[in-house]
Structure 1
Amino acid sequence: MLNSLLCLRYDHLVIQYRQVFSRLPNMANPQAFTEKVLHRKIFDRDPTLAIYCDKLASRDIVAETAPEVSFAKLLWAGRDPDKIPFETLQPPFVVKPNNRSGLILFVRNQTEVDPKRIKDFCNEWLHINSHGKYMGEWGYGQVDTKIVIEEMLPGAVEGAPPADIKLFVTGGRVAAIYYSTGRYGDRVGLRGFFDRDWIQLPWDKWTRDGRIVLQGDIPVPKNLDTMIEAAERLGARTPFLRVDLFNIDGKLYCTELTPYPYSGMRAPILKDEPDTNPPSRVADSNLGASWPVPEIGFAHKLGKALGFL
């Protein structure tokens, strides 16, 4: 009954979830990883989440906790596109918001330094916090939207980003690692899930569009131990954190810290299981098993479900 009330109260999250997984989530007693992301959206109000969600504020956490991890050089940050110092900006650089994922404008050379194009890009999202409002991700909703302009990292000038390594830290320990190469948003790069010993996990990825087959067979990164140690220090403050790194010639760059991966709308799925409707949740539950969800009393959950809290 409690889960039914939560599903009614947070119907917008349930609709999004059902569109991907064709089933209702268990938000009252979550077991799968994706369910625990939704549970965090509803119940977790740890102020640290807002720091993780801010690409500017999170720089300080990384510098203090994992100094061996770098960031792209910050060229400018602010709220007013008219104050962007175009006269001093030297490409290549990227323009993006500080509190959203997936929105990046690449400016690779001087001919692409078009002030109107860049200002128009910023104005499209500057006054909209979609992660916080529409996706229900509380941490992002606490962050004032700003424009971030960073130096483009080596290897990305041609349009293909470096190897992207996402470490899933649950209970202070790396439980899984997702490795990918290729352009943003494509499906042809080399990808795979691995455990902390770089043994490939028998998982593909399930999205709104169905299964994405992951090839695997990726050599062990030479600095894997350094990545794991850094990610575990960064994730030690919270039950779960995904730490995203670029590995460029053995040097690590942090690209994002996120407490809400894919907003809970993507999941691992076992390779040897057929596509069904709804899809299997075995791998989703395996990944979620190591995420220790804090105890929340029945009265608090009921208050949330009834809209009193």
Structure 2
Amino acid sequence: MKYKELIKNQETRIKLLGLLDFLPDRLMIHLQYFIKMGKKLNLKSPKRFNEKIQWYKLYYRDPLMTKCADKYSVREYVSAKGYDSILIPLYGLYSRGEEINFQSLPKKFVLKTTNGSHTNIICKDKEKLDKNKTIMTLNQWVKKRTAKLGREWAYYNIEPKIICEMLLEDNDNEFEGINDYKFVCINGKAEIVWIDIDRYEDHKRNFYDLEWKYLNIKSDVQNYNGVIKKPNKLQEMKEIAEDLAEDFPQVRVDLYLINDKIYFGELTFYLLSGYEKFYPDYFDYQLGEKFILPEKIK
């Protein structure tokens, strides 16, 4: 069902989902899966990776996941693993936009909420930044709790805050912005890596195995048809990803490689919210076969 064609405005879709907050998670997940995937959800004996992500939302509720889904508190987890050096420098933590002292910030920075997705403000010149609009936008994001939209339990109990980080820039990158390396880890082992490029211009995504062999997999983002060279620290990034993933049955570890230095991005527990149509379809089963579901934690 092409629901995005029926309701094209994202804000409208979010509002409609908000009206269904009263529905129990299990019922809502069944409903969303049918609408987005066009098929019934099998929770009793899930085979597809997407199905197992839905099971994961409902039946594996480890408090450590909430800590690590929080973009601020995850820093403590990464540090405890011995990876202080890959944390993006932090300029500030705030409860509301009005607390930000823009005068004390450098010329360039990034503002983001600790519980959101796509809630980032990239500032390349603070003298040109509309500070009042920025404060208003951040406050709106802090008030907006979107975790229940996809019934992603790990985000339910995050206290929304605002963080300010150093802006990562890669002037030598052949693509726009910075490359985002995403390691899909299952039972502590990296299985595949995908790279997102041209994130804010003409977003593209390619999938690779752990030796950087191209996988002919498509998702909701178009593929890049050219050659993307193998990162020279791929093995080190893989080892870091697996260290950070070892406490979880399934997690995606996002890393950046800029000027030969690795930076930590985030940990994501519900890969594409479990509503991603892979092409070819058998990839959903292949990845699902690797994801051995744990004992329930409720």
C-alpha distance in 2 between matches for 1:149 and 1:285:
39
Instruction: Name which of structure 1's ranges 120-129 and 42-51 shifts more when overlaid on structure 2.
Output: 120-129
Matched, 1:38 2:51: no
Matched, 1:264 2:278: no
C-alpha distance in 2 between matches for 1:51 and 1:130:
17
Deviation (angstroms), 1:88: 0.9
The match for 2:231 is 221
The match for 1:283 is 283
The match for 2:5 is none
The match for 1:248 is 258
C-alpha distance in 2 between matches for 1:233 and 1:33:
22
C-alpha distance in 2 between matches for 1:172 and 1:87:
43
The match for 1:141 is 156
SS at 2:143's partner residue?
Answer: coil
C-alpha distance in 2 between matches for 1:225 and 1:69:
17
Does the 8 A contact of 1:170 with 1:241 survive in 2? yes
Does the 8 A contact of 2:182 with 2:255 survive in 1? yes
Counterparts in 2 of 1:214 and 1:39: CA distance versus 1, 3 Å? farther
Q: RMSD over aligned Cα, in angstroms?
A: 2.4
Does the 8 A contact of 2:170 with 2:259 survive in 1? no
Instruction: Name which of structure 1's ranges 221-230 and 57-66 shifts more when overlaid on structure 2.
Output: 57-66
SS at 1:55's partner residue?
Answer: coil
SS at 1:51's partner residue?
Answer: helix
Which of 119, 122, 134 is 1:103 aligned to?
A: 119
TM-score of the pair, normalised by structure 1? 0.81
Write out per-residue CA displacement over residues 98-118 of structure 1, whole angstroms, 9 at most, x where no aligned residue: 111211111110333332111
Identity of aligned residues (%): 27
SS at 1:143's partner residue?
Answer: coil
Equivalences for residues 1-309 of structure 1 within 5 A = 10-67=26-83, 70-131=86-147, 133-155=148-170, 160-184=176-200, 186-187=202-203, 189=204, 191-205=205-219, 207=220, 212-215=222-225, 217-270=227-280, 280=281, 282-296=282-296
Does the 8 A contact of 1:171 with 1:240 survive in 2? yes
C-alpha distance in 1 between matches for 2:38 and 2:102:
48
C-alpha distance in 2 between matches for 1:41 and 1:196:
27
Deviation (angstroms), 1:8: 8.8
Counterparts in 2 of 1:75 and 1:103: CA distance versus 1, 3 Å? same
Aligned partner letter, 1:232: E
Q: Structure 1 stretches of 5 or more lacking a match?
A: 1-6, 271-279, 301-308
C-alpha distance in 2 between matches for 1:8 and 1:47:
20
How many residues were matched structurally? 274
SS at 1:289's partner residue?
Answer: helix
Aligned partner letter, 1:87: Q
Write out per-residue CA displacement over residues 24-60 of structure 1, whole angstroms, 9 at most, x where no aligned residue: 1212222211111111111111111101201111112
C-alpha distance in 1 between matches for 2:263 and 2:158:
22
Does the 8 A contact of 1:193 with 1:216 survive in 2? no
C-alpha distance in 2 between matches for 1:36 and 1:185:
32
C-alpha distance in 2 between matches for 1:242 and 1:216:
25
C-alpha distance in 1 between matches for 2:109 and 2:65:
27
C-alpha distance in 2 between matches for 1:8 and 1:23:
20
Write out per-residue CA displacement over residues 188-246 of structure 1, whole angstroms, 9 at most, x where no aligned residue: x4x311111222222111x3xxx734536322111011011000010000111100011
TM-score of the pair, normalised by structure 2? 0.84
